[in-house]
């Protein structure tokens, strides 16, 4: 599809909806990853949020392209970043995480009505920034001679979204505060790998992503606290119960304690990491 047609299609999508939550759903069901990212960057186009609007769930959630082929996470091959293909595979894995992160933020925004306007504005900001990250990584893949979709990928992030689709508290606890927070822990080691093979640009992109992801996890922590307070729940004990109920992965170190503190985790939570 040429650029003018792509832009016309994007504008038609934008003009077919009337609230930001409806546009978030349009982002979610869009299959083309670059068009999805472009639409996500438009999530400040309307004044009307539609916080109380009940939106029927359509077929085809989430929209995704035919490639990358999705396989169990145990079948995603680990490659040495010292080879061009291995470096590209790492960039591809990161791009796939950011693609899923767009979907996660968009799904959180449209799926749960009745929250304060700030809730939706927060997660729309997250979706826009995840789209920016995806663009950085997909551009880096092109520079390396590859493209998003060239390697297999797994679906673990979205699987947890499915498990928590009926409970906003569980979703906040186990996606931004668990799975996405693991990215804070993984970032230093990945950055070191990139530096070790001289990929300065890749390391710069990791720095940008870590900076923004601290803010995203902080948003998750803030709204988790709000929801626990509204329900009269103890945050630490409730998190443990939700993790057990929904089969959240056990967290393993090393942990990026500095980033986790910056993202708003309490000292009690950090001590429980072990």
Give per-10-residue mean pLDDT for the chain (274 aa): 66 77 94 94 83 92 94 81 94 96 96 96 96 97 97 90 96 96 96 96 97 98 98 97 94 94 96 84
User: Which residues lie below 8 Å from residue 151, measured CB to CB, with a gap of 6+?
Assistant: 68, 88, 89, 92, 93
Which pLDDT score, from 0 to 100, does residue 3 have? 60
The backbone torsions φ and ψ at residue 66, rounded to the nearest 5 degrees and listed phi first, read: -65, -30
Which pLDDT score, from 0 to 100, does residue 45 have? 73
Dihedral of CA atoms 239, 243, 246, 249 in degrees, nearest 10, equals 150
Which pLDDT score, from 0 to 100, does residue 41 have? 92
If phi > 0 it is left, if psi is from -120 to 50 it is alpha, else beta; for residue 13 that is alpha
Which pLDDT score, from 0 to 100, does residue 8 have? 72
If phi > 0 it is left, if psi is from -120 to 50 it is alpha, else beta; for residue 60 that is left
Which pLDDT score, from 0 to 100, does residue 274 have? 65
Which pLDDT score, from 0 to 100, does residue 157 have? 84
Which pLDDT score, from 0 to 100, does residue 215 have? 98
Contact of 175 with 161, CB cutoff 8 Å: yes
The backbone torsions φ and ψ at residue 250, rounded to the nearest 5 degrees and listed phi first, read: -70, 130
Q: Please state, in angstroms and rounded to a whole number, the distance separating the CA atoms of residues 140 and 33.
A: 15
Which pLDDT score, from 0 to 100, does residue 246 have? 95
């Amino acid at each position: 599809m040429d650029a003018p047609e792509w832009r016309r299609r994007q504008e038609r999508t934008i003009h077919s909806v009337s609230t930001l939550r409806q546009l978030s759903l349009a982002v979610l069901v869009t299959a083309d990853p670059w068009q999805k990212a472009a639409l996500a960057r438009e999530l400040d186009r309307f004044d009307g949020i539609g916080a109380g609007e009940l939106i029927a769930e359509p077929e085809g959630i989430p929209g995704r392209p035919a490639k990358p082929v999705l396989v169990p996470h145990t079948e995603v091959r680990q490659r040495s970043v010292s080879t061009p293909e291995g470096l590209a595979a790492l960039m591809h894995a990161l791009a796939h995480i950011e693609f899923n992160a767009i979907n996660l933020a968009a799904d959180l925004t449209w799926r749960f009505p009745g929250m304060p306007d700030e809730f939706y504005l927060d997660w729309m900001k997250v979706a826009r920034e995840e789209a920016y990250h995806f663009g950085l990584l997909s551009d880096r893949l092109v520079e390396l001679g590859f493209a998003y979709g060239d390697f297999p990928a797994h679906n673990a992030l979205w699987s947890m979204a499915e498990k928590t689709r009926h409970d906003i508290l569980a979703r906040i606890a186990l996606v931004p505060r668990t799975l996405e927070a693991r990215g804070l822990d993984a970032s230093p080691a990945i950055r070191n790998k990139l530096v070790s093979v001289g990929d300065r640009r890749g390391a710069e992109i990791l720095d940008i992503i870590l900076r923004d992801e601290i803010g995203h996890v902080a948003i998750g922590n803030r709204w988790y606290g709000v929801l626990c307070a509204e329900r009269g729940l103890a945050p630490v004990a409730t998190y443990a119960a939700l993790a057990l109920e929904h089969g959240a992965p056990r967290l393993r170190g090393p942990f990026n304690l500095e980033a986790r503190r910056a993202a708003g985790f309490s000292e009690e939570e950090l001590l429980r990491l072990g």
